[in-house]
Structure 1
Amino acid sequence: MSASTDAVRGGTVHVADDSRRVSVLLGMLFGLAGMGSSSVAVALPILGPDLGVGPGIAAWAISLYVLMLAVTTAVYGRISDLVGVRAPLLVGLVLMSLGALVAALAPSFGVLLGARVLQGAGAAAVPTLGVAILSARYTGSVRALAFGRLAGVAAAVSCLGPLAGGVVEGLLGWRAVMALPLLGILVVPFLWRALTAGGTGARLDIVGAVLVAVTAAGMVLLVQSPSAGTTVATVGAVLIVLGVPAVTVSVRRRPHGFLPVEVVRNSVVVRSAIAAAAVPASWFALLIALPAVLLADGWEAWQVGLAMVPSGVVGLLVPRVAGPLLDRIGAARSLATAGVVSTVALLVAALGAHRVSAVVLVAAIVLVTFAFGVGQPALSAAVGDAVEPEVRGVALGIGTLLFLVGGSVGSAVVAGLGGPLGMDGAVACLAVLPVLGLLVLAPTLRRSPRG
């Protein structure tokens, strides 16, 4: 009897250790994908003049990366349903690394933009497939802890992006900053056993994939248009007007195609994703607002990076809270908790921006990092549990797509309204978004049992 008990305990310990290793490695990859924006932001003032473009044009090095990151997440998710996670994740990491290398060596801004598109298209594999790996590999409290650890490590690495970018740029120049995502390829050998092949073996609905990607691109462009101009707004609106009915027809004709009807009609998936989008909106907004306020107040880039360190530490610690919280109160209530904390963080940030108080701003980004560390794993759990395994990848991809579109909303609001309303006014306006998310989530909250 004692031998049997020891065997069970040994197996449990092995699973826990395996989940810790895999989730940390995936979190590092997720964080490097986020660092593709946060570290490059520090290098924009240097690379723009070096390649002969102004600040507004240089910002497209981030905008196009975020666009591709959002647009292709659902594609990777659906492909993983069909062939497993190994091949699409490897392809994504190769594209991300190749894009980073070409960006670091780019002789012109046009080549740099092309490289960033490639890099974003590759990096999109990480958020969706990382969650899919954990969903398929673990269950119960072990999975909840793994989700929390992935989100926490990702948040910590992303938050340290400005510091890493500032230090690397100061020592080696902006081209070395562009090359930072190359580090992701080094993680693959340590993850190899966790990457499964297989899948349903069905063929990819290419037409459906293209239609969803085009519509998603329209959403992101329209969201970014306040800071990008009327041309971008027009293109985004046209893509949405054409894409939405085309996707609707595609789903009706092929209910088991790229976008399965069972995912589209699943209210838990849709409501959870919409509500969760308010969390990255708050997070990305403060990742822009804090440096903007402090740099305008005379801070150096490396000092701003140091101000982000507390949020990075919180990102590493939050899994100790997020996993047990998710296991105890369930995904819907964890999402609601993240929404409430996001609202508080934005209001605190508005106060800090109004007073130009670094202490208050740092407190705000610590709060929003906590919200991200709770909200992202809650979304993964909610979506993963609401659908069948054969469509889990695309469901997670759609959820991640809306999650990233939320991030675009946050950055666009701050960039677009920061001028006319001031950074404090823009951040305060954004505080409405998590409240709306809670209203969308309300029916799910009423029906959901505790964890």
Structure 2
Amino acid sequence: MPVNIQHSLEAAPMRSASARWGLTGLSLCMLLSSLGTSIANVGLPALAQAFSASFQQVQWVVLAYLLAITTLSVGVGRLGDLFGRRRLLLVGIALFTLGSAACGLASGLPGLIAARAVQGSGAAIMMTLSLALVGEALPKDRTGSAMGLLGTMSAVGTALGPSLGGVLIAGFGWRAIFLATLPFSVLAFAIIGRGLPPDRFRETGDRPRFDMLGTLLLAATLAAYALAMTWGRGSFGPLNAALLLAAAAGAGLFVYVQAKVTSPLIRLAMLREPVLRTGLLTNMLVATVMMTTLVVGPFYLAGALGLDAAGIGLAMAVGPVVSALSGVPAGRLVDRFGARLMTLAGLAIMILAALLLAALPLRVGIAGYIVALMVLTPGYALFQAANNTAVMRDIGPDRRGLVSGMLSLARNLGLVTGASAMGAVFAFASRADGIATSTPDVIATGMRITFGLSGGLLLLALAIAMRAGQPRTGGTSTSP
């Protein structure tokens, strides 16, 4: 047997084993970063009691994490492209680990909030680069399955957070919700170090500089927007308006700087690429609708259907559980039938689910709500796997981190917009002195109007996806 053929046969199992280790590590990163988002919410009452603080003060424990992820996703993605995604991912896991330890050992609320910002910075790196590294860990024809698996792990983290956090707080106190992630973070670090190949770099003289000014401008702009959308828990006052104006001004200044600098963070011409532009817009619209279910659902279940806290928790858990079960099959469908067709199919299923949410619970109660969620979440899993695959599959190696960061940013912008704007729509539609005093019939009307609008947003996403045409068939990488 020729030596080169024998070497190839021996190397194939090694590459396959390395790919499995790499995908395991990336999945664990996605699980931990999602768990970090959801596990802290259930601890807010315990934190308020422990630190003798108001809800407005302890909510910064959640907000600091969200702001770090939102503001850093694009910048860390670009840093990974320039200086090595595997290396930066290891730094991100280390930051997440250190932040988790500092949270668990915090002696005061300001220290806890600062530690959560560090933890969120690590989570931003882990979320962004996990998507970007799929193309290096697996062959292109398995990208859809890998994206489906990462989506599953994200859903598992989201679903596991509230229940796991409640058990840990009841048994060991609030510090346990942060310290419990430490052994898994260390495990993720070890697996990534073993399972992913070393970074490959261009010649030093050919490597572009990092756009620090653009990165800082974008981070400040996104922070202003996120704060404008979340400050005041739904009320919109002068401070919200000032922050929104600051975000608009920052966005204009960012575009101006990107057009002038030699090595911009985002080349504006990238947004003219149909697949990328479509992927970002539809991702933001779909995330807006998904957050609507999390914001509106509890009010409807309590106010219109009369469920207690335990019943609401069980009903709301249906969505993440179904999403976790459908993520991997959705990825396989993408690999078999193509990303474009499955993107359209996922959006069509979600439109049907939004219409069911607007009508079915009003007729058959909690069973109708659960059935509608069981339609919505597989559609979302299918859309996510297909959309991420379509955007990431043909991106050149020099831009994977940046584009992954842009996808994460679009999703986070949709989440904060859904939490604020769609929450405001529901509050306005459930007109009364307040939602707490509204009658079940009025809350049901608010539910119907809100999810009717959600269906309209999904129809817009479907129209954008259909207009985009066939995705590109070759690499479109340009030198940054």
Q: TM-score range by the shorter chain?
A: 0.7 to 0.9
Which residue number corresponds to residue 203 of structure 1? 209
AA at the equivalent of 1:330: G
For the Cα contact (< 8 Å) 2:143–2:393, is it kept in 1? no
For the Cα contact (< 8 Å) 1:166–1:305, is it kept in 2? no
- Cα distance in 1 between the residues matched to 2:381 and 2:42: 24
- Residue 157 of structure 1 deviates from its aligned partner by 2.3
For the Cα contact (< 8 Å) 1:163–1:304, is it kept in 2? no
The answer to whether residue 282 in structure 2 is matched with residue 271 in structure 1 is: no
AA at the equivalent of 2:253: A
Report the count of equivalent residues: 447
Which residue number corresponds to residue 133 of structure 1? 133
TM-score in terms of structure 2 length: 0.81
Which residue number corresponds to residue 437 of structure 1? 461
Which SS does the other structure have where 2:391 is aligned?
helix
- Cα distance in 2 between the residues matched to 1:407 and 1:134: 24
Which residue number corresponds to residue 33 of structure 2? 33
Structure 1 gap ranges (5+)? none
Which SS does the other structure have where 1:35 is aligned?
helix
Which residue number corresponds to residue 383 of structure 1? 391
Which residue number corresponds to residue 107 of structure 2? 107
- Cα separation, partners in 2 of 1:249 and 1:208, compared to 1, 3 Å: same
- Residue 124 of structure 1 deviates from its aligned partner by 0.6
For the Cα contact (< 8 Å) 2:92–2:123, is it kept in 1? yes
Which residue number corresponds to residue 190 of structure 1? 191
What do residues 113-160 of structure 1 show as CA deviations (whole Å, max 9, x unaligned)? 222222222211122100111122323322221111111122122122
- Cα separation, partners in 2 of 1:381 and 1:299, compared to 1, 3 Å: same
For the Cα contact (< 8 Å) 2:99–2:115, is it kept in 1? yes
- Cα distance in 2 between the residues matched to 1:362 and 1:160: 19
What do residues 3-32 of structure 1 show as CA deviations (whole Å, max 9, x unaligned)? x99998997776666545433432232122
Which residue number corresponds to residue 333 of structure 1? 341
- Cα separation, partners in 2 of 1:35 and 1:19, compared to 1, 3 Å: same
The answer to whether residue 398 in structure 2 is matched with residue 398 in structure 1 is: no
For the Cα contact (< 8 Å) 1:211–1:247, is it kept in 2? yes
- Cα distance in 2 between the residues matched to 1:445 and 1:294: 40
- Cα separation, partners in 2 of 1:179 and 1:346, compared to 1, 3 Å: farther
- Cα distance in 2 between the residues matched to 1:363 and 1:11: 48
The answer to whether residue 250 in structure 2 is matched with residue 243 in structure 1 is: yes
- Cα separation, partners in 2 of 1:83 and 1:17, compared to 1, 3 Å: same
For the Cα contact (< 8 Å) 1:32–1:158, is it kept in 2? no
Q: 1:215 aligns with which of 187, 197, 221?
A: 221
- Cα separation, partners in 2 of 1:44 and 1:229, compared to 1, 3 Å: farther
- Cα separation, partners in 2 of 1:14 and 1:380, compared to 1, 3 Å: farther
For the Cα contact (< 8 Å) 2:74–2:402, is it kept in 1? yes
What do residues 371-404 of structure 1 show as CA deviations (whole Å, max 9, x unaligned)? 3322333232222245332122112211221122
- Cα distance in 1 between the residues matched to 2:331 and 2:345: 13
- Cα distance in 2 between the residues matched to 1:81 and 1:10: 31
AA at the equivalent of 2:348: V
Which residue number corresponds to residue 237 of structure 2? 230
- Cα distance in 2 between the residues matched to 1:9 and 1:356: 59
Which residue number corresponds to residue 43 of structure 2? 43
For the Cα contact (< 8 Å) 1:95–1:121, is it kept in 2? yes
- Cα distance in 2 between the residues matched to 1:294 and 1:104: 34
- Cα distance in 1 between the residues matched to 2:176 and 2:364: 32
Which residue number corresponds to residue 173 of structure 1? 173
- Cα distance in 2 between the residues matched to 1:57 and 1:323: 41
When you count helix as a share of all residues, which structure comes out higher? Answer: 1
For the Cα contact (< 8 Å) 1:322–1:374, is it kept in 2? yes
Which SS does the other structure have where 1:408 is aligned?
helix
Which residue number corresponds to residue 299 of structure 1? 308
AA at the equivalent of 2:455: A
Which residue number corresponds to residue 437 of structure 2? none
AA at the equivalent of 1:273: L
For the Cα contact (< 8 Å) 2:71–2:222, is it kept in 1? yes
What do residues 72-127 of structure 1 show as CA deviations (whole Å, max 9, x unaligned)? 11111101110111222122222222222333333333333222222222211122
TM-score in terms of structure 1 length: 0.86
> After superposition, where does 1:279-428 map in structure 2 within 5 Å?
279-294=286-301, 297-301=306-310, 305-307=313-315, 310-351=318-359, 357-413=365-421, 415-420=423-428, 421=430, 422=443, 424=447, 425-428=449-452
What do residues 27-73 of structure 1 show as CA deviations (whole Å, max 9, x unaligned)? 23212212222222222223223323333443332233212211111
- Cα distance in 1 between the residues matched to 2:239 and 2:373: 30
- Cα distance in 2 between the residues matched to 1:52 and 1:417: 33
